[in-house]
Structure 1
Amino acid sequence: MVRVRGIQVGATHQETLLIHELDDVCDTFTGRAMTGSWVWDSALLLSHYISTEFDLRGKTVLELGAGTGLPGLTASRLGADRVILTDVGPLLPGLRTNVEANGMCGRVEAYELVWGSDELPSRLTELVGEIGVDLVLMSDVFYDPSLMGAMTKTLKMVCGRETKIWAATEVRDSAVECLTELASHGFEAAELASRPLSQIIRDGSNCEDVGLSDSASSGLAEEAGIVAVAATEAGAVGAEHSVCSVAVCCSV
């Protein structure tokens, strides 16, 4: 089953993205249904945040664990020069469908990338080496502490000294455990700010014909907090590509 959602983005919410959600995407190895093909609250939050807090014009943006690609597509709609969406293989058809549905072929590309891989997709290697990535986006990625080592390995490969990394997640026990594990790999978090989640979602200003599913909204909190994460030591992220800062948006 395919469900198409129209989601308003931008500081004034005058741009609409068409997002296809697929119910029949399964993990290649386990056969289990994958939830990455649905729009979650954290993706809405991150899309809103980049619309108001970052000038994307002329930037190169990479989204890791992109799922439906909403934050990355938002970045393109708001003026980013280049956007690379990445996720595991089963989610790529849905990502590419959303790129095509929004007329972004040529400006937005989608590739398979498994965290912790020794090599990056050739196009991403080209961007990192010749241009550099200005902004890395991630939403709802802090759910399994055992993946943090692989995540940080990939971040070290794609980030330069001026790269910013913003991620959105709902606060839950596993997210806290992930941030703790992230610290063991040379990163630490500090809160920057908070904002009412209601102004993003409940007033409908960020969504048009988008209903939050019961599974996505049952734990909806009233505020969203922003924390910054930075490498704790000079060598923590490698000599060539040193992460300057990471910002994590959390529902609290």
Structure 2
Amino acid sequence: MPNVYHCSIVLGKYMETLSNKTHGFWTDKRVLELASGAGQGIVSLSAAALGAERVIMTDIDSAVPALQRGVRLNGFEAPQVQVTALDWTSRSQALSHIWNDILSNPTTPSSTPRPQLDYILASDVIWVDYLVPALVETIADLMHISKERRDSGTHHQDEQSITSRPQSPVLLLAYQFRSTRSDQLLFESLDQLGLQRTKISLDGENVDEPDSVYMDSKFRKPNIAIWKVWKE
């Protein structure tokens, strides 16, 4: 039986609600979903349905055929939606394929430089501690965080000039709390990269926050939160 994780439903609904709040929010966006096995690509399919220009679904190699079937069954096709294997523990070749092949040819022509990715999407990707280091390193690669910055754990600007660096994507992480240890390991690892993060309000109380929305209570779970993570 295919798995549809609660986090995927919550993040997909958030993306839809954000699009309703800001009409066309996902139009022309380039997004990549990180997954770690057995998911059904709900978040990626939501992005495609909401108008994203390029959607890259990634997972371990054994999960790719199921994701490809889901893309076909939902009426999407390349180049808008593409599926590729991405093993976080051995990722250099896969990332090279994503940067140089999948993202090198935009679906719509543009006269201005475009970011390689606008958003990284991830839902319920951590359920055991040993996945955290590989996930964080993969996020660092996708956000173009230098090796020096990772090793030093400082928040200084990379030596490469800001104008010559690719624009860094924003991570939307739907995270299910399972243990204090996992929480601490994940968020301390992200902090060591110098990343900023905020927990997105889903109850409509922070009306002045552009990322906050109101979602029906049936889509809000006490142990599930959506975090926005970005590099300044």
* 1:179 maps to 2:186: yes
TM-score (norm 2): 0.66
SS at 1:86 equivalent: strand
- Aligned partner of 2:154 in structure 1 is none
One-letter amino acid of the structure 2 residue matched with residue 172 of structure 1 = R
Contact map agreement 1:43 1:139 (CA 8 A) in 2 = yes
Instruction: Rate the CA distance shift 1:175–1:52 in 2: closer, same or farther, 3 A.
Output: farther
- Aligned partner of 2:49 in structure 1 is 77
- Aligned partner of 2:171 in structure 1 is 165
One-letter amino acid of the structure 1 residue matched with residue 81 of structure 2 = V
More helix, by proportion: 2
Q: Distance in 2 between matches of 1:228 and 1:199?
A: 17
- Aligned partner of 1:40 in structure 2 is 5
Contact map agreement 1:61 1:134 (CA 8 A) in 2 = yes
| Cα offset, 1:150, TM superposition | 1.6
Task: Count residues in correspondence.
Answer: 181
One-letter amino acid of the structure 1 residue matched with residue 71 of structure 2 = V
One-letter amino acid of the structure 2 residue matched with residue 100 of structure 1 = R
1:5-36 C-alpha deviation (Å, 9 max, x unpaired):
xxxxxxxxxxxxxxxx2xxxxxxxxxxxxxxx
One of 118, 130, 138 as aligned partner of 1:146: 130
TM-score (norm 1): 0.61
| Cα offset, 1:137, TM superposition | 0.4
| Cα offset, 1:50, TM superposition | 1.4
Q: Distance in 1 between matches of 2:61 and 2:217?
A: 30
Contact map agreement 2:33 2:120 (CA 8 A) in 1 = yes
| Cα offset, 1:84, TM superposition | 0.6
Instruction: Indicate the percent of aligned positions where both proteins have the same amino acid.
Output: 25
- Aligned partner of 1:113 in structure 2 is 86
SS at 2:56 equivalent: strand
Structure 1 runs of 4+ with >6 Å offset: none
Instruction: Rate the CA distance shift 1:156–1:128 in 2: closer, same or farther, 3 A.
Output: farther
Q: Distance in 1 between matches of 2:197 and 2:119?
A: 19
Q: Distance in 1 between matches of 2:33 and 2:97?
A: 14
1:194-235 C-alpha deviation (Å, 9 max, x unpaired):
335x95473xxx8xxxxxxxxxxxxx83475444434xxxxx
Alignment of 1:1-252 (within 5 A): 2=1, 21=2, 38-53=3-18, 55-65=25-35, 67-106=39-78, 107-116=80-89, 117-126=91-100, 127=102, 131=114, 132-159=116-143, 160-173=166-179, 175-183=182-190, 185-187=192-194, 190-195=197-202, 199-200=215-216, 202=218, 221-222=221-222, 225-230=225-230, 243-244=231-232
Q: Distance in 2 between matches of 1:169 and 1:192?
A: 10
One-letter amino acid of the structure 1 residue matched with residue 135 of structure 2 = M
Q: Distance in 2 between matches of 1:187 and 1:42?
A: 25
Instruction: Rate the CA distance shift 1:188–1:172 in 2: closer, same or farther, 3 A.
Output: farther
Q: CA RMSD in A?
A: 3.0
Gaps of 5+ in 2: 20-24, 106-113, 144-165, 204-213
Instruction: Rate the CA distance shift 1:188–1:163 in 2: closer, same or farther, 3 A.
Output: closer
